[in-house]
Structures are given as C-alpha cells and as structure tokens.
Chains A and B, each alone.
Chain A
Amino acid sequence: MTAVQSAPVAGRPAGRAEVSDRSRAERRLGLLLSAPAVLVMLVVTAYPLFNALYLSLFSYRLTAPDDRRFVWFGNYATALSDPLFWQDVLTTFLVTAITVVVELVIGFALAMVMHRALFMRRTVRTAILLPYGIVTVISAFAWRYAFDLQSGFVNQWFGLGDYAWFSGRWSSLSVIILSEIWKTTPFVSLLLLAGLAQVPRDLGEAATVDGATAWQRLWRVTVPNMKAAILVAVLFRTLDAWRIFDNVFVMTSGQQHTETLSFLTYRQTISRTAIGLGDAVGVLLFLSVVLIAVVFIRGFRVDLSQVRGDR
C-alpha cells in the first residue's frame, strides 16, 4: 500500500527530465537489491498460484490420480452454479460487513482514548491491545467454551438456561462475529491511532477558535485528515475478515450453515482432496480478494486527491 502511495512522489523529481548517470546507476542498484526478494516472492506465491490455476482445470482427486481428466472451466461452472457457494459467499459477506463496521466504530473510540489518555497511557494502550496479542485459535476456543452448554458461563450469567448457541445458524454466527470483533478491534484502533497522531494539533485549535463544536471538529477536521489511515484500516480488516477461517473451524466446523469461503476451499481441497474443484474455489476466493484490494486502492487514490484538494 505504501508503495502505491509513495511511488509517484519518488518518481517525480527524476520525472521526465533527462536521467543522469548517477540516478540510472542508483536505479540499477535498487533493482539488484530487490531482486532476491522478488525471486522469493515468485517461488512462494507465483508458482503455487499458477499451479492452482492449472490444477483447477482438471477433475482430479489426490486419492484417485488415474481418474484425472481435463475439464476446462467446468469446475468454475460447478462452483458458480452451486447454491452452497453462494450461501458461503453470503455468510462471508455478512461476517465481513458487520465486523468491519463495528470494529471501525469501536476502534475509533478506543483510538481516541489511547490518543487522549493523560495518565497511565501505557497501561491503557496495553489493556486495549491485549486481545490482539492472543493467537486466534486460542481465543476461538475460549469463546467456544464460554458459550458452550456444559462448560460455558454465558448462559449462567444471563440466565439463558440450556440455550444451545451452536445449534442454530444465526446464534453461531453471532458468537463467531463477536469473537472476531473482540479479537481484531485493537488492530483497527492501532492503525487509527497512527492516523490520529498525524492530524496537526493546530488545525483543531484553529477550529476551536473559529467556534467549532467538538462534533464539528471531529467530522470536519479530524476524520478528513486521517482518511488515509481509516482506509488502510478498512482495507486490511476487510481482506482479513473475508478470509476468516480459524473461528469458524474451532467453533462450528462449518456446521449450521456457518461455512465461509475459505472453509469451503479447505473442505474441498484438504478434506475431500478434490484438488481440481477445491483449487477452482480457491482461485475464485483469490480473485475476490484481488477485487476488494483493487476497489479499495482505486477508491484510495480518489480520496487522497480529495483530501489534498478542495477540503
């Protein structure tokens, strides 16, 4: 992301003017220096990606290697025409949309607290960031046991009797979403705190002098000036939430229609070893991630220019 942002800035001085020997040499050095990283990236990302793309064109099971058949884009047609796929897309979308919105709101409030805290600043920040330091699988188990009928305390505390949280779709999804929010809101607030720190103090002071209320200062001064940070937070969280797996795996193993896209991929590829079909779903998941990233980055640029321009 930062690369996208800073590229035009770095490019401008060298720009269209004639390139000096020195800067040409520097550029070559830069390429050479980054080459190993690019190579590693090719090996660990590009190769598996293209391999998956290739395998997704076959009807192929790992345990029946002799029955491998080339089926063109048949697996994609199967996946895209399957109601299960769209049900999982909907589940994933709901989880993503709800968690990102709630996390943004709570995260912003927490960022303000961390920013404004006058005393015990470190303690406050540590306390807020703590859930983010816990491994997702462990937090998922903690939440699962908390809501479990036999071992859980939630039903006791709220007098819910023997309400079985994980026996219904929406109740299971609520627990999954809650634990996701609890776990990753600190991450959002951390990113937003960085954004808050970048808003120049004099802007707020000037606005106060001009008679702006606190609410106006928040919406007219603070938020527009940290738009970049907000978008980075939203982008990161959306991509993360879209690929949600651990919480679902631990809490429901995809039962009661709580399966998400990555869980669907996992079950086709790893559990069923239906490599072809699984890779097709995996590629579709990848494409959706790319789509989200592109939409955000495009949106990003527009917004950035707006921030710099008329406002």
Chain B
Amino acid sequence: MLLAGGLAACGGGGGTPTLRWYTNPDDGGQAKLAAECTRASGGRYKIETSVLPIDATAQREQLVRRLAAKDSGLDIMSLDPVFVAEAANAGFLRAFPPNEAEQFTRGVFPPAVRNSTWEGKLYAAPFWANTQILWYRKSVAKKAGVDPSAPGFTWDKLIDAALRSGTTVGAQGNKYEGYMVWVNALIASAGGQIIGSAEKGDDATIGIDSSAGHRAAQVISRLARSRAASPTLSTDIEEQARSLLNGPRGGFMVNWGYIWRAENGDAEDGVIDKRIPADLGWARYPAVDPGRPSKPPFGGIELGIGAYGKYRDTLAVEAVRCVTSTPNMKKYMIDSGNPAARAEVFDDPEIVKEFPMAGLIRDSINAAAPRPITPYYTDVSGAVQSRWHPPASVDAGTPHRSGTFIRQVLRDQALL
C-alpha cells in the first residue's frame, strides 16, 4: 500500500522537479502525505520518499554521513528532535528566516519549538510530537487500591501498587535511546537537568550529579531490584514492555502514545485477549516527588531541509509547509496514530473520538521536558547509558560517576 502511494507520487511526469524526503519508517503515513502534497502542488514538484533505518541512532548515522558529504539529493529529512541541534550546529540544515519561522511555530507545542531551535534560529519544522504516559490495567489498579490519575501519584506509589498486586511496572531498560528517555524524564521530573547551557559545547554545565539525579537513581534502582521489575528489564524496549503489560503479571507501564492503536489492533487480530483494551487505563507520567508535577518525555519528528539541496530555498520550503499544515497533521495522526505537533488538532471531534486520551496527551506534551539540547547529544546520551546501564546496577554513586564520565567524553578524554 505504501508502495502504491509512492508510485502514485511518481506519476507526475518527467520534467517536474523532484524532492527527496528521507523518512523514518512509519507504515507509509509519510509516503501518503508526500503523494498528497505532490498532488496539491499541481505539478510544480513531486516528493519521493526514502525510508531510513528503524532506530533513531541508525537514522542519524545515515543522515550525518550524507550531510557531511554535502549530499545535494537530500531535500527534506524527518529528524528525531534530539538530533536537530547537532545537525544545525554543523551547518547541515537550512535555517528558516523569521518570516517563514512564524508559520511553522504558530500553535505548536513549546517543547517541539524549543527542540527545533538552535542559537535563536528555527532549523526544523515540528511535524508530530510524542510523549509517554502511564498505561495500566484498570482491574489491577482497582485491586491495588490506587488511582493513578490522582495528582501526586509518584513512582514510589506506583511501585508499591505493583508490589501489592503482584504485578509489574514496565519501562524501557535496554541500553539504547529509550533508556535515556526514562532517565531524562526522571531527572527533569525531580526538578533537574542532565546538561545546562548546552550552547557552550564541551564546557556545558553538567547537572546529573545533583539531588534530582539522586532521586532519579533511587527510583530506577528501587524498581530494578524489586519484584515489580520486568525479568528482562535490562534488555526491554517498548514492545517488550507492552507484552509484559498484556501478560499475566501485567499491571503498569510507561510508554508512548502508539500503545492505544497497537493494543486495539492486536485485540482485533486476536493476538491478545479481546478484553484487554477495555481494561486499559491511562494517566499522566508518574511524578518523582509528590509536590512536583512530572515532566513527561518528549519525542516526535521535526522536518529539516538539507543545506545542500537544489530547492532548499524554494520548493522544499513549500513542501514542508504543505506536510506540516494543520489538516495534514490531523490526517497523519489518524493515519499513523502519531500525535500532531499543533495543540488545536487535539480538540478536533474526529481525533477525540479516535483517541480518547487525546486531552491527556496534549497536556503531557505541553508539560514535557526535552532531552538535552546540545550538538553533542549522541555523546551525552551514550555516556549516560554507559554508566546507568543495567538498571539494577544503579546506586547512589551512579549520578556522580556519570557526571564525571560525560565531562570526560565531551572533552575527548575517554572512549565511549
């Protein structure tokens, strides 16, 4: 089907300028939008899509290699928000001048704008925004006697509830970007940040060795060493956490918004028990301290324009405008299940009907804390993963060790 969409896009004729859009894999939603915008352009351009590897780190690897070689055949790219700063700093992205920037940021969630901005300039157009929420089995919460949506529902209460009911708290503990998402959300929820004044490059202030860092370490260490942890926590990614929730010991899980679609789809296909979706509840990402509302993780995709493409100042901008228009964001959200980057889409009746938790997702994205915005993001994330993994090894010394290590890695004083 996605192929059909792509082929339809190619039907535009020979002399039409072609824009190449590198997309993250998404079951063809972006390819459909490409076809849509090609049609809407009335033959002035056509967009062809190329699919990048599945995981974010590998996507970045391929894009960076192409951009470092000044690939002129890279017009538009779907970028994970954490890589925008790096690409912008390296001169790989075309900046949007203020008059263009306005329309790409109007009504867009603040964390998405912050993540797309580097040194005061907008380098990418927010396309869709993502966040994690707490998913749980309503029956389990009832049995444990907790209301996860109550304000002040903390990780400690969550772990207690799972222990009481003999269930688990699923999380992403594999040594990969998803684990960094968890660590960062915990530190931000405790009122800290891993890196401050990131624009100073390798002189940035490192805030992981702080009281917030210690609180985060306590949460991870407590969960990982308790019976509420997944037996394979140290290799779990999103999908393992989901199957844990569907299993006999399933209770709670922090995970992205795609869960709703995935669970309903699996129930329809008979992969999981048909009663599970009806038993599925959702609440805001758990807090670390009772008095401080949580800062949920932030993710999604921003669209960057390659600095070396032939149509970077003309057709590429037009195409990005088309793809990120509010109607197309809504279309993409219904099509792929990925939340739009503009808040107004979430009030759309069609969206509310399709995603009953749309309001929660909107509020979570609004409150979300981005991961460190720094051109050295890969190093920072890798250094954190290296010292915080496996989750069961985290102890009171972890924040300090990781702080020292991040500094060393940033200064080329240690291998990673």
Contact = CB atoms under 8 A, between A and B. Distances in A.
Most chain A C-beta atoms within 10 Å of own C-beta, residue among B87, B91, B375, B416: B416
Interface stretch (A77-85, A109-117, A213-221): A77-85
A277 B412 contact: yes
A167 interface: yes
Contacts of B68: 62-63, 273
A64 B412 contact: no
Nearest to A149: B232
B64 A78 contact: no
A272 B87 contact: no
Interface stretch (A10-18, A93-101, A263-271): A263-271
Contacts of A310: none
Interface residues of A, number: 30
Residue among A85, A272, A276 with max Cβ neighbours from chain B (10 Å): A272
B317 to A, nearest CB: 24
B71 interface: no
Contacts of A61: 376
A138 interface: no
Contacts of A271: 57, 61, 378, 382
B297 to A, nearest CB: 22
A164 interface: yes
A270 B61 contact: yes
Nearest to B389: A255
A74 interface: yes
Interface residues of B, number: 28
B352 interface: no
A264 B376 CA distance: 19
B412 A79 contact: no
A64 B414 contact: no
Interface string B16-60: 000000000000000000000000000000000000000001000
Contacts of A75: 412
A164 B89 CA distance: 42
A273 B378 CA distance: 9
Contacts of A71: 412
A152 to B, nearest CB: 15
A268 B416 contact: yes
B412 A63 contact: no
A67 B201 contact: yes
B415 A64 contact: no
A244 interface: no
A128 interface: no
A276 B413 CA distance: 12
A63 B375 contact: yes
Interface string B257-280: 000000000000000000000000
Interface string A145-172: 0000000000000000000101100000
A62 B376 CA distance: 11
Given A59-B411, A271-B57, 16 more contacts: A59-B412, A62-B68, A62-B90, A63-B64, A65-B90, A67-B201, A67-B202, A78-B413, A78-B414, A82-B414, A167-B232, A271-B382, A272-B379, A274-B379, A274-B416, A277-B415
**Which 3 A-B residue pairs are closest in the complex by CB-CB distance?**
A63-B90, A59-B412, A82-B415
6 contacts: A63-B86, A67-B202, A75-B412, A82-B414, A82-B415, A270-B65
Interface of B: 57, 61, 64-65, 68, 86-87, 89-92, 175, 201-202, 232, 234-235, 375-376, 378-379, 382, 411-416
